[in-house]
Structures are given as C-alpha cells and as structure tokens.
Amino acid sequence: MTGNIIKISGIIFGITVLFSGCAREVYDITWQGIVADETNGRPVPHARISAAATYQQNIDETAEINRYSLSDEYGRFNLSFPRAFGLTVKVNAPGYLGGLQYKVVKKSVLKDTLFITPHPFDASLIVRRMDFSSFSSEVPFIRETRILDQPNGKNLVRWGFDFLSGQNTFHLDSADIWIEINEQNGRIILNASPRGGIFPVQNSSPEFFLTGITQAPETGYQKSYILNGNEAGFFILCRNGVNIAKMIPEDKICVLSYTGADGQTVREKGIRFDYLFQPDLKNRLSFPVSASVLDMDGKIEGVSN
C-alpha cells in the first residue's frame, strides 16, 4: 500500500511540474502603444512595429503569430492577437537604431511606450536594396494598387512612395512618386508630385548609376515617364522640391499576397526598386558612396561623408 501511495504521489508531482512549465496564455489581446524617442520622449512617426506572439500550440510545442503595424504621425500604433503568453517586438524607424524587446503577456489589454534610440551620427545617405531571396511587404515596393478582399466586394486603394519617411503611403499628396500600369499593353508609368520630378539616366549600367554617379542634376525633371527598360535608373526630386533620391526600379510587375492583421486577404500590385536618399539639405545633390553600399540587401544604413 505504501508503495502505491509513493507511485501515485510521483505521478501527481510529475504532472504538476509539466503544467507549471507551460506558460499561462491570455486570449483576445489588444495592444495599444506609442513609439517614442529615448533621448527626449517625443513620439516617433512612421515607425514599423513587428511583433511575434508566442502561444502554446500543444503540450510539447509553441508557435508564433506574426503581426506588424506602422505608427501614425503621433507615434501611436495598434496590434491585436487571438492568444499569446509572450511578445517578441522589433521596432525600426528612419534615423533610429533597431530595437528588440520581449514582453510577458499577463492581461488582454496592453498599453505601453516603446522607446527607441537615435543613430549616434547624422546619416548623410539612406540606402535600401532589394532582397532577391525573399519578397515580403518589407521590401522596397511601389504599390500601384492595394486590394482588400471584403465580404461586400473589393476595396482598391492606390499607393505611392514617400522617400522623406521611407514608407509607402496611400495619401498621394504625401507621396514623392507613384505608378500607373496600363492593363492593355503592360506599360508602367512613373508619376511625380507637383513640386517634384523624374530624371531618367541613360547610357549607363544600373550598378554604376547607383554607386558611381554621385551628382544629381538641378534641372530637367519630368512630371511623368513611361518605363522602357533601357534606363540605368532615375533621379527623383521629392515633393518638397528640395530633397533628391536615386532610384532603380524593376521593369516588371510584381504581385504580393498576404493575410493582414485583421485576417483579410491583401493583394498588392506594383514594382520593386533599389534607392539611395539624401536627407542632408546642404548636400542634397550629392550621393557619397562607400563600398558597403554594394553589400546592402534590404537594409537601411547611413554612410558618412
């Protein structure tokens, strides 16, 4: 009898240890927050918040639910998850160091501030390159349209690209460039903002244009341009009429499909591109280039003069 009691006690103890190792999950999580500058506490707009919610898939394994959001002009963001016991959070914003945090989820409504650190230097050049090994919504991508499949039909939104913030935008008055695709002949038309412009560069290679041509023209920019596939690249005069970007678009159309944070199916049609952006107004026509630019692959970095 004593032996049986010992065995039963051992089983109960083992079950207790097993379940104590499983984290307690929270369901229907709503996360509201603000991205702020660590040095002065000011909100950081247009920051990208990527979060992976970890949950117990079964008694032996965990799994993740990935979501992302962009902070608005006041640094605010919202994310939701069906279940989780922990969140792994990554924050990226132009001019700031990338940050990675882990948060234990103890309640269904979360409110907090994510602090990020500015670059320790004034970046004189912003570099973005395409990643040909993978294609995701993080890749530089000028969407012509963004189609949401909804119960009552399709919701079509036209997008542009804002070099000043390094983000896509569906407000064309805050876009430096956007595209139109002719459905009949497949031609891609680049359009610039009222104060901006497009300057095609011929008789060069794309790589030499990106790293070798270091001076942008002051005049001669067009308001629209039809891609013919022979361009080495383009100088883009931004919507403020001052800043300059150097851009190499693909001459083919890509379609990106994924499930959004709200569970809706999203299809985005557009073109991918590489670009260099000069945020320094004192040297706005100059593109200082170092050897590290050749190694860039879907990242943002500063290159000092």
Write the CB contacts of 194 (distance below 8 Å, at least 6 apart in sequence).
Answer: 239
- Residue 294 confidence (pLDDT) above 50: no
| Whole-number average pLDDT of the chain | 78
pLDDT of residue 200: 96
What is the per-residue DSSP string for 230-248? Answer: ---EEEEE-TTSS-EEEEE
pLDDT of residue 23: 59
Write the CB contacts of 152 (distance below 8 Å, at least 6 apart in sequence).
Answer: none
Give the pair of three-digit tokens for residue 122.
């004034």
- The answer to whether the beta carbons of residues 124 and 288 sit under 8 Å apart is yes
Question: Would residue 17 count as lying in a domain?
Answer: no
Question: Would residue 7 count as lying in a domain?
Answer: no
pLDDT of residue 142: 75
The domain of 47 spans 26-116
Confidence of residue 149 (pLDDT cuts 50, 70, 90): low
Q: Which residue has the higher pLDDT, 149 or 288?
A: 288
87 and 176 belong to one structural domain:
no
224 and 144 belong to one structural domain:
yes
pLDDT of residue 7: 40
Question: Would residue 2 count as lying in a domain?
Answer: no
pLDDT of residue 40: 92
80 and 147 belong to one structural domain:
no
Closest C-alpha to 117, from 40, 31, 52, 51: 40
Task: Specify the number of domains making up the chain.
Answer: 2
pLDDT of residue 155: 59
Residues in the chain: 305
Confidence of residue 170 (pLDDT cuts 50, 70, 90): confident
282 and 183 belong to one structural domain:
yes
97 and 133 belong to one structural domain:
no
Give 35-82 pLDDT, tens digit per residue. Answer: 999 999 999 998 889 999 999 988 888 889 999 899 998 999 999 999
Give 268-278 pLDDT, tens digit per residue. Answer: 778 888 898 88
What is the per-residue DSSP string for 181-240? Answer: E-TTT--EEEEE-TT-EEEEE-SS-HHHHHHT--B--SS--BSEEE--S---EEEEE-TT
Give the pair of three-digit tokens for residue 261.
């944070």
150 and 269 belong to one structural domain:
yes
pLDDT of residue 132: 57
Question: Would residue 40 count as lying in a domain?
Answer: yes
Closest C-alpha to 196, from 223, 162, 220, 178: 223
190 and 140 belong to one structural domain:
yes
Question: Would residue 72 count as lying in a domain?
Answer: yes
103 and 156 belong to one structural domain:
no
What number is the average pLDDT over the span 215-235?
A: 93
Q: Which of 116, 140, 166 is the last residue of a domain?
A: 116
CATH number at residue 44: 2.60.40.10
Closest C-alpha to 176, from 159, 196, 158, 157: 196
pLDDT of residue 301: 40
Question: Would residue 14 count as lying in a domain?
Answer: no
Write the CB contacts of 96 (distance below 8 Å, at least 6 apart in sequence).
Answer: 37, 44, 47, 116, 117, 118, 119
Give 187-222 pLDDT, tens digit per residue. Answer: 889 999 999 999 999 988 888 898 888 899 999 999
133 and 161 belong to one structural domain:
yes
281 and 170 belong to one structural domain:
yes
Write the CB contacts of 150 (distance below 8 Å, at least 6 apart in sequence).
Answer: 264
Closest C-alpha to 262, from 68, 84, 87, 49: 68
Q: Which of 97, 116, 135 is the last residue of a domain?
A: 116
68 and 159 belong to one structural domain:
no
pLDDT of residue 289: 65
Q: Which residue has the higher pLDDT, 164 or 258?
A: 164
Question: Would residue 13 count as lying in a domain?
Answer: no
CA dihedral 129, 206, 237, 173 (to 10 degrees): -50
Percent of the chain with pLDDT over 70: 76
219 and 73 belong to one structural domain:
no
Question: Would residue 84 count as lying in a domain?
Answer: yes
Q: In this structure, is the dihedral angle defined by the CA atoms of residues 41, 42, 48 and 49, taken in order, positive or negative?
A: positive
Closest C-alpha to 216, from 197, 196, 238, 236: 236
Work out the burial of residue 172: count CB atoms within 10 Å of its CB; fewer than 13 is exposed, 13-18 middle, 19 or more buried: middle
Q: Which of 72, 92, 116 is the last residue of a domain?
A: 116
Give the pair of three-digit tokens for residue 23.
């984290």
H or E element that contains 18: helix 2-20
pLDDT of residue 281: 79
What number is the average pLDDT over the span 217-238?
A: 94
What number is the average pLDDT over the span 142-146?
A: 67
Confidence of residue 27 (pLDDT cuts 50, 70, 90): very high
